[in-house]
Chain A
């Protein structure tokens, strides 16, 4: 049995309701590590070119990594991946909580869902038992409701992932929900799960995960935990979680406000992490084996609801980006999204887009069936969330995402439809942060920040600078951060607490028994990055440079307010950033990996 792994793969065919159990291929583990590495390889190899993302030919991958479930800080990150219904390209979205640890305790590193079930079903796993069960009674119900019911039915020790009405109704930014407030939110993985009529996954495991060198593994794990707890950053991070970033982000001019019209929200005082902590947070809530809980579980007296969060992104999108400044209203909107199963980032982005279109007269009361859409109107936000999840009225258009909505609404709305590659941009306004903008432009799922949180380099070397160094740092981050998604662990211990990356290669050696340097691991991460790029090139007709462009707002419109007032990245600088980036990556000027680069990375099987 492979050290560090659960050792088995479950392949679930929902069409003919068969479940096949196989040993994890040691070569796959060696070459792709786990998590998103597994996902990228399987999607490229097994999903046929041109497959309908919401059809039976697409696959939903659920993957743990070699660190998941082990004594390593934050080793509880599950990857969900598929061909994206939002973008048509590669998608993975990783989720915290307890799911991947439980999968490995049951003996599985990977679950592959194929086909489409004729009736709503859920996958039940209890160690060696794996079966599809009837989910008809749960169909139509919300994520939190179903998780609560399944725990009651199966037992508290079962870990549950569900989709809500958003996933069932194929909302292009439907999420997969777990542990009462953790989500795989981005790029529509929840719509893929819903399209398969897979309502939930329930896992329980009671087995050991073998490691190669127990003594060394425990020594390193202990050191890593001791490091985290003693770090200077621990106190604030633990107290505020990601919402602690709200104020600095606003001061950087990067807090998305009014559909990214600005990066500065003048009413930030009521949306700070401190305000949240003092008014609504009731419990600190951590993912598996995490010593620095960023999860803040809240209760809103105003709305009488519980919700995990709102975390940074949600405060940005259901707060500043729609100009709502009451933290309890943000919490309520968050609660609605969580229960209905839609991504708060894309939801807040597309709602803000509709509000801007309404204020500019591009859409009117006729389009909204009389619903007024103005920035700052909480009730309109709540109503649109419901309409999107249920695809009612204008919600049916918005449920397709901001790119599609701009095509329907017309006018000049495409200029401020804030997406890249069809994925709504997440929470960093980047007109005065070229490295961050480049990170968004080149992220391999579309407009998402987590592949390279490069704004720190903009601050370090000068906000206006367009330099080779910034492109190099974006590439470096795009290898380090996604590597964590291959390993099945969280990056925030490194990002927020300064955990030395030097720990990870020795930890991996002790766990797997394979002697690999940090550079060896980064090489694998680069392999995965190029493979996901190749997936885009194969699946999207005409894919290339123009798919990496940001929305016109970012290269034509000066920021109107705040500390970055007057700034934008000119079109020629956008081109310059891409030239530097492609060149450093060994890609051609259209952004396609060269034959030499693919071969250097062991990707000979990739067609060009």
Chain B
């Protein structure tokens, strides 16, 4: 199971990020979301959506082997074991392992599907 994005349908509204953070952290705070919207304006005037592809590169570099897979097959970081080295963040080819000053451990998409539900434009889908 994968979270995919059709960037051509993204309107840059950031609702996915807001819904993500509300589900994951119970906070109104898109800076704590697990997917990225990268606007490119004024020229060419498009949005790029970046989601976790579950490539596993983060697992490879984790020195304490604290990146595990949940029942949906999504890699997640065990916060209790994470030492905050951020090697996974650097290794992520999509730049979708995120950090926030409130937490020592980074966080990544766990395939909760909340963003898919909220995106009105069909830019996000599960495959």
Residues of A within 8 A of B (CB): 69-71, 98, 101, 105, 144, 148, 156-157, 179-180, 205-211, 214, 218, 222, 225, 228-229, 234, 238, 282-293, 295, 297, 299, 306
**Nearest CB in chain A: distance from B119 CB, A:** 9
Q: How far is the CB of B120 from chain A (nearest CB, A)?
A: 4
What are 27 A-B pairs with beta-carbon distances under 8 A? A71-B15, A71-B19, A71-B28, A148-B42, A179-B41, A205-B31, A206-B31, A209-B29, A210-B28, A211-B28, A218-B22, A225-B120, A234-B120, A238-B120, A282-B46, A283-B45, A283-B46, A288-B14, A289-B18, A290-B15, A291-B118, A291-B120, A292-B120, A293-B11, A293-B13, A306-B44, A306-B45
Whether the Cβ atoms of A283 and B47 lie closer than 8 Å is yes
Q: Which residues of A contact B55 (CB under 8 A)?
A: none
If the complex has contacts A297-B45, A306-B42, are A286 and B29 also in contact, measured as CB distance less than 8 A? no
Residue on A with the closest CB to B120? Answer: A291
**Is B28 a contact of A289 with CB atoms below 8 Å?**
no
Which chain A positions have C-beta within 8 A of B15? 71, 225, 289-291
Interface membership of B101, Cβ < 8 A: yes
Collect the chain A residues with CB atoms within 8 Å of residue B46's CB: 282-283
Contact with A along B1-30 (1 / 0, CB 8 A): 000000001011111001100100011111
Q: Tell me how many residues of B have a C-beta within 8 Å of chain A.
A: 29
Is there an interface contact between A228 and B29, defined as CB atoms closer than 8 Å?
Answer: no
Q: Considering the chains assembled together, what is the distance between the CA atoms of A157 and B12 in angstroms?
A: 12
Q: How far is the CA of A101 from the CA of B13 in the complex (A)?
A: 11
Asked if A206 contacts B120 (CB within 8 A), the reply is no
- Shortest beta-carbon distance, A128 to chain B, in Å? 11
Return the chain A residue nearest B27 by Cβ: A208
**Chain B minimum-CB-distance residue to A297:** B45
Q: Roughly how many angstroms separate A214 CA and B45 CA in the complex, as a whole number?
A: 36
Determine whether B39 belongs to the interface, using a CB cutoff of 8 Å to chain A.
yes
Convert B86-127 into 0s and 1s, putting 1 for each residue whose CB lies closer than 8 angstroms to a CB of A.
000000000000001100000000000000001011000000
Query: How far apart sit A125 and B28, CA to CA, in the bound complex (Å)?
Result: 19
Contacts of B41 in A (CB 8 A): 148, 179-180, 297, 306
- CA distance in complex: A211, B21 (Å): 14
Given contacts A286-B11, A289-B18, contact A156 B45 (CB under 8 A): no
Q: Within 8 Å CB of A222, what residues of B?
A: 118
B14 touches A70 (CB 8 A): no
Which residue on chain A has the smallest CB distance to residue B23? A218
User: Using Cβ atoms and an 8 Å threshold, which residues of chain B touch A299?
Assistant: 45
Q: Are B42 and A228 in contact (CB under 8 A)?
A: no
Q: Contact at A105–B29, with CB atoms within 8 Å?
A: yes
When C-beta atoms are compared, the residue in chain B nearest to A145 turns out to be B42
Question: Cβ of B43 < 8 Å from any Cβ of A?
Answer: yes
- Whether the pair B38, A71 counts as a contact (CB closer than 8 A) is no
Residues of chain B within 8 A of A209, CB atoms compared: 28-29
Q: Is there contact, CB below 8 Å, between B120 and A98?
A: no
A287 and B120 alpha carbons, distance in the complex (Å): 13
Q: Write out the residue numbers on chain B whose beta carbons fall within 8 Å of the beta carbon of A208.
A: 27-29
Q: Add 4 more A-B contacts to A98-B14, A180-B45, A229-B120 (CB < 8 A).
A: A70-B18, A207-B29, A291-B15, A306-B45
A98–B46 Cα gap in the complex (Å)?
16
The verdict on A206 contacting B45 (CB below 8 Å), with A105-B30, A229-B120 known, is no
Q: How far in angstroms is the closest Cβ of chain B from A51?
A: 36
Residue of A69, A210, A289 most packed against chain B (CB within 10 A): A289
Which residues of the other chain, A, contact B43 by a CB distance below 8 angstroms?
A: 306
Q: Which of A144, A206, A290, A291 contacts B29 (CB 8 A)?
A: A206
Contact bitstring B45-63, A, C-beta under 8 A = 1, else 0: 1110000000000000000
CA distance A290 to B14 in the complex (A): 8
Docked-complex contact B39 and A156, CB < 8 angstroms? yes
